[in-house]
Amino acid sequence: GRGDERLAVSLTEGLPGLDAAGQAAEWLGDRRAVLGRFAEARSWYETAVGCAANDSDRQRLAEKQARVLGGVDASYPSHGGQAQATGAACLCADLDGGVAPEGPPGRITPLFEVPGDRMVRPEYLPERDFDWPVRQLGTAAAEDWLIIHNQRDVACYHSQDGALLWEQRLGGDENMRSVPLARMRPVVRGETVFCRRCTSRGVEVAALSLLDGQVLWNVLPLDSAVSDPWFVGKDLFVLAADRLGAGQVGVVLAALDPERGTVLKRDGLFRLRQVWSDDLNFLVRAGAGAFFAQGEGVVFRADYTGSVRWLRELPWIAPSDRSWWQARPWYIPLATPPLAADGRVYVHQPGSWTVEALSAETGEPIWSRTDGRLISILAAWNGRLWLQAEDGLLVLREEDGRWERLYPLMDVLAVGFLPRAGQVWCVTSREVPGQQDQRQWRFLWLDASDGRIVHEMGVPAEGKDWQFFGPVVAASDGIVFMTASRSLPAVRRCYRMEIPPNGLSPTSPDSWQSSRAIQ
């Protein structure tokens, strides 16, 4: 009765699953809905549904969720809506009811455990119940070697038996820092591993020997490296930040010598003002003659001479408070690199709940679609744009962004795309029928052309508390994946799953990166 939001939030946190927590969550959802903050309202209504004591309350809350979703985008049908009973009905039955033919179970082998004591948690995120570590773990595969990078330390394991081959630790524990929720992916080139590392001076670029992990060189391209390094032929590039004072930051394209780490040239691209975060991070989609990059509310195209072809601001809203309980809807979506296909660029970033299609040549907008459930962009394939939403997979028409199909999936742990096979994959968690104390990880592969389920496998889960999944990496004849518990998300256990003979073999290590943080 006091109208105290902090008290209501504490009730939902301190009395999970009880009626009082459900009432508090519903009240918080009502307040967000009145303010027009529909994504937050849906999140609180979802919490209230989990606390509902009977079917009538669940139905009433579900109707509130549907009305909120209508406020965000009326063309995106809700679960059970009339529009869902058309072309998607048969596939919905396959996904929810397990009608699709299921192959033999995969055999999993424990490999190793990644300790979490060297990972730096952003102070505004909770220690448990949110999988922040998966967004700060970068991976790369090279033959039978698996590289794992936590923004500071790099370790190399054998993907067949889990043996630790080497580990390169960054010193200076007293100055441990991180770029929050940024996955720094290593790049393996010949017998060298290139990566970013967070140091007390800033984010540097380093080259390590793939054979023994020795540092070959390390360099600060300017104040900080703000993208992962990438190669174009034999040339190595990285985006760097030049802090100019008075709240301004210059974004610079730096070319590096791969052999010695020398900065060969720097080309200023543009300036940012009033940057929300002190730690910039750009995601790059590189091509032979030009590249696209996205971050800090902008997307741009530039060539390797430092000429910016176009730059466009992306509409987004910063949370009033960065703390987890106040800004939770901002942390669920994922920052994804621009997706270039068929003369268009598709972009999305946290804080906007919008996917936009832009002209790759001019950057002019073609269409945009807004929905409070949007998490990430997966793939553009055969005239369809695949997206991950909070309640499944969404398919839009590339031509005009119109809604085409929704594939409802619950408890999604990880998703991704295999470009060479033209398949979308996902991992979900479900209870073993008749054994409520046991869970199963369910792997699904779908044809990106028509949504047909190509293959399905079930793997026994570590335990009911082990609901965090990823990253996922392809090995030579199987899948290597990590999982963690909700109580200790920074400690990851790594497993190898062998694909049965009639199963699907992985095709590209890069395409197996986990794209959700539960995830």
CATH number, domain containing residue 352: 2.130.10.10
Give me the CATH number covering residue 18.
Answer: 1.25.40
Last residue within a domain, chosen from 28, 46, 72:
72
| 20: containing domain | 5-72
Does some domain include residue 263? Answer: yes
Determine whether 257 is exposed, middle or buried from the number of CB atoms within 10 Å of its CB (0-12, 13-18, 19+): middle
CA atoms of 385 and 390, how far apart (whole Å) = 16
Highest mean pLDDT among 72-86, 266-280, 325-339: 325-339
Does some domain include residue 517? Answer: no
Does some domain include residue 458? Answer: yes
One domain, residues 17 and 166: no
One domain, residues 56 and 114: no
One domain, residues 58 and 196: no
DSSP 93: H
One domain, residues 228 and 274: yes
pLDDT above 90: percentage of residues in the chain: 44
One domain, residues 114 and 41: no
pLDDT at 182: 93
Which helix (DSSP H) or strand (DSSP E) does residue 455 occupy?
Answer: strand 453-460
pLDDT at 34: 54
Q: From the CB of residue 333, how many other CB atoms can be counted at a distance below 10 Å?
A: 24
pLDDT tens per residue, range 87-124: 222 222 223 222 233 444 567 889 999 988 889 999 89
Q: Please report, as a single letter, which amino acid is at residue 91.
A: L
What ranges in 35-134 are assigned the alpha helix state H?
38-51, 55-72, 89-97
One domain, residues 393 and 346: yes
Does some domain include residue 250? Answer: yes
Instruction: Report the domain count for the chain.
Output: 2
Q: What is the mean pLDDT of residues 316-331?
A: 85
Supply the mean pLDDT for the chain: 81
One domain, residues 120 and 205: yes
DSSP 85: G
pLDDT at 343: 93
Q: Are 184 and 151 contacting, i.e. CB atoms less than 8 angstroms apart? A: yes
**Is the alpha carbon torsion for 324, 411, 489, 181 positive or negative?**
negative
With 80 as the cut, is the pLDDT of residue 86 above it? no
One domain, residues 496 and 433: yes
pLDDT at 33: 67
Q: How would you classify the pairing of strands 203-209 and 215-219?
A: antiparallel
pLDDT confidence tier of residue 418, bands split at 50, 70 and 90: confident
Does some domain include residue 58? Answer: yes
Does some domain include residue 96? Answer: no
470 vs 53, more confident? 470
First-to-last C-alpha distance (Å) of the chain: 35
Does some domain include residue 518? Answer: no
262 vs 278, more confident? 262
Written as one string, the DSSP assignment of 221-264 is SSSEE-S--EEETTEEEEEEEEEEETTEEEEEEEEE-TTT--EE
pLDDT at 232: 95
pLDDT confidence tier of residue 165, bands split at 50, 70 and 90: very high
**Crossing angle (nearest 10°) for helices 38-51 and 324-331:** 110
143 vs 399, more confident? 399
One domain, residues 47 and 115: no
The whole model's pTM is what? 0.77
pLDDT at 276: 56
Last residue within a domain, chosen from 47, 72, 97:
72
pLDDT tens per residue, range 281-292: 999 999 989 999
Last residue within a domain, chosen from 72, 90, 118:
72
One domain, residues 186 and 67: no
One domain, residues 378 and 255: yes
pLDDT tens per residue, range 459-517: 888 777 778 999 988 765 678 899 999 999 999 999 988 765 444 444 333 333 333 32
One domain, residues 167 and 54: no
CA dihedral 462, 468, 469, 471 (to 10 degrees): -130
Does some domain include residue 133? Answer: yes
- Name the residue with tokens 């033209």: 422
CA Rg value for the chain = 23
